[in-house]
């Protein structure tokens, strides 16, 4: 059986980190490694996670950046990118390994369900699953998996502030048709419950529409994290397409300095993909 690396980006998740990682401990006993990538947490996330993971990686904040750093240090043949508020189905290693033949380049995701059993959430999850299957574009909550060789051939996630799941799906679908696992991952409905189902649906589609028409991922990220500087720090502050910075240097010095060193490289990488 091929080795599976479960790569999890986190930022200030002390409230749920132990429960979420405890759920992965049996997988660690069955040829899986858990790679946690912290984006600069200021709470007890790191301390709580240390005994429950195989590798702890420190990274600049930003989901795409963190997942790329985790992949660089992962040792598995298959990468699975897991959001901390999403739970995997049982026997996930076997489910994915059954799709992989020797030296194949495979990618895909899981069908999704919410942890709220209300009819509205069943309709939303069903719609998300259908849309992903038709467009070959998944969301991060659907838990992307990809063989190492394919991931490295596209140079990983585009390091943009938001919509990294859409961006990498578009790169991967040029290579092959995705594999969709019918066994479902279960993701938190918290954001939908807090902001309202209809409002959240419309907001998510509005962001996708803006992205489709070329709005900078930086601007999208600032809309996605409008009220919290702590949450906004998750967003990578450089747009590879435009080389923009969303905030002045004095606001986020550590992020700014790391961004400068990568901006030119990312611009070149993006240009070669298109």
Share above pLDDT 70 across residues of the chain, in percent, rounded to a whole number: 79
Note the pLDDT of residue 101: 63
Per-residue pLDDT at 26 = 92
Q: What is the pLDDT of residues 120-146, one digit of tens each?
A: 999 999 999 999 999 999 999 999 999
- Mean residue pLDDT across the chain: 81
CA–CA dist 212, 224 (Å, integer): 16
Which parts of the chain register pLDDT below 50? 1, 228-273
**pLDDT reported for residue 248:** 32
Domains, the chain, with CATH or none: 4-193 (3.90.550.10)
What pLDDT is recorded for position 219?
Answer: 76
Alpha helices in the chain (DSSP H): 17-22, 25-28, 45-49, 63-73, 92-97, 119-135, 148-153, 164-172, 190-195, 197-212, 217-224, 229-232, 253-273
pTM: 0.78
Residue 205: predicted pLDDT? 77
pLDDT at 102: 57
């Amino acid at each position: 059986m091929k080795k599976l690396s479960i790569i999890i980006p986190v930022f200030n998740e002390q409230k749920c980190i132990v429960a979420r990682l405890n759920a992965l401990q049996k997988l660690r006993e069955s040829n899986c490694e858990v790679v946690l990538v912290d984006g600069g947490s200021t709470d007890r996330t790191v301390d709580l996670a240390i005994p429950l993971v195989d590798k702890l990686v420190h990274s600049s904040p930003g989901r795409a950046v963190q997942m790329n750093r985790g992949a660089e240090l992962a040792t598995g043949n298959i990468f699975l990118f897991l959001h901390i508020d999403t739970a995997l189905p049982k026997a996930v290693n076997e489910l994915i390994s059954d799709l992989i033949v020797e030296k194949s380049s495979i990618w895909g995701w899981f069908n999704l369900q919410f942890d709220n059993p209300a009819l509205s959430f069943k309709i939303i999850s069903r719609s998300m699953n259908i849309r992903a299957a038709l467009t070959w574009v998944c969301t991060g909550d659907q838990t992307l998996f990809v063989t190492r060789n394919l991931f490295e051939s596209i140079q990983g996630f585009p390091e943009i502030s938001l919509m990294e799941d859409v961006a990498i799906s578009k790169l991967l679908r040029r290579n092959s048709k995705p594999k969709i696992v019918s066994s479902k991952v279960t993701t938190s409905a918290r954001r939908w419950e807090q902001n309202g189902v209809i409002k959240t649906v419309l907001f998510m589609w509005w962001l996708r529409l803006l992205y489709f028409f070329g709005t900078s991922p930086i601007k999208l990220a600032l809309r996605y994290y409008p009220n919290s500087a702590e949450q906004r720090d998750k967003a990578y502050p450089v747009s590879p397409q435009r080389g923009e910075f969303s905030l002045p240097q004095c606001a986020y010095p550590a992020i700014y300095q790391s961004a400068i060193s990568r901006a030119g490289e990312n611009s070149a990488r993006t240009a070669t993909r298109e």
